Chains A and B, each alone.
Chain A
Amino acid sequence: GQQLNQSPQSMFIQEGEDVSMNCTSSSIFNTWLWYKQDPGEGPVLLIALYKAGELTSNGRLTAQFGITRKDSFLNISASIPSDVGIYFCAGQSSGTYKYIFGTGTRLKVLA
């Protein structure tokens, strides 16, 4: 079945540093979504990507849809303490309602 590998699993960074995380798939997706989840809450949509090569920003967040359609990247610039949380990628293939989720990247920001 389809698998999504998300890395790194966790990151400890200093406030002000930039962060990069990525997801790779064993199959092609036509949609990539990036979410952030705080403890005890549902995932909140950060960025949605619909086309290969697409680069989209949301404030300090930038995400890219890989050209091969099998990967995606999320960058956070100038991290702040409220960036702490778990970041998930999700991919969707054509012709299905199913979204495949990554295992998440747990981000901790040290002030």
Chain B
Amino acid sequence: ETGVTQTPRHLVMGMTNKKSLKCEQHLGHNAMYWYKQSAKKPLELMFVYSLEERVENNSVPSRFSPECPNSSHLFLHLHTLQPEDSALYLCASSPSDSLSSETQYFGPGTRLLVL
């Protein structure tokens, strides 16, 4: 049990669909992250939220829209995705709200397939 949960675990969607990924952390952490993991590529950081404020947007296309209503929940809203967006989307959290050395804990991921 990592303390970070993600739903759904698997998602198949068409290019015209709108869907949302949900992440919840039960660790009392202040920072949350979205990563994209594609085959044979390093994890790509997408967004970082600290105390519900977005502090990092790593040149992600606007068809991905994050939302952080509180420090325990993080959403990734998806619309008009492309097949190349198919990947494992990982959520992570870390304890601190400051730019310091902190460990990250990952959720199990959502395996997304865009048809």
Q: Name which residue of chain B comes closest to A99, CB basis.
A: B104
Q: Encode contact with A along B31-62: 1 for CB under 8 Å, 0 otherwise.
A: 10100000011110100101000011010000
Q: Name which residue of chain B comes closest to A102, CB basis.
A: B42
The CA of A41 and the CA of B110, in the complex, are separated in Å by: 9
Whether the pair A101, B43 counts as a contact (CB closer than 8 A) is yes
Least Cβ–Cβ distance between A80 and chain B, in angstroms: 22
Given contact pairs A40-B111, A42-B90, A101-B43, A95 touches B99 in the complex (Cβ within 8 A): yes
Contact of B99 among A4, A94, A102 (CB under 8 A): A94
Q: Name which residue of chain B comes closest to A50, CB basis.
A: B101
Least Cβ–Cβ distance between B42 and chain A, in angstroms: 4
Least Cβ–Cβ distance between B66 and chain A, in angstroms: 14
A-B contact count (CB 8 A): 62
Least Cβ–Cβ distance between A38 and chain B, in angstroms: 10
Contact of A42 among B45, B56, B107 (CB under 8 A): B107
Q: Report A-chain residues with C-beta under 8 Å of the C-beta of B48.
A: 97-98
- CB interface residues, A 10-34, toward B, < 8 Å: 30-31, 33
Contact of B106 among A31, A35, A103 (CB under 8 A): A35
Whether the pair B99, A90 counts as a contact (CB closer than 8 A) is no
Contact of A31 among B41, B43, B102 (CB under 8 A): B102
Contact of B45 among A4, A44, A99 (CB under 8 A): A99
The CA of A40 and the CA of B105, in the complex, are separated in Å by: 16
Whether the pair B2, A33 counts as a contact (CB closer than 8 A) is no
Q: Report B-chain residues with C-beta under 8 Å of the C-beta of A97.
A: 31, 33, 48, 50, 55-56, 99
Whether the pair B42, A41 counts as a contact (CB closer than 8 A) is no
Whether the pair B109, A41 counts as a contact (CB closer than 8 A) is yes
Whether the pair B2, A42 counts as a contact (CB closer than 8 A) is yes
Q: Report A-chain residues with C-beta under 8 Å of the C-beta of B99.
A: 94-97
Which 7 pairs show the lowest CB-CB distances between chains A and B? A42-B106, A31-B101, A101-B43, A101-B42, A97-B48, A48-B103, A42-B108
Q: Which residues of B contact A (CB under 8 A)?
A: 2, 4, 6, 31, 33, 40-43, 45, 48, 50, 55-56, 58, 90, 92, 99, 101-109, 111
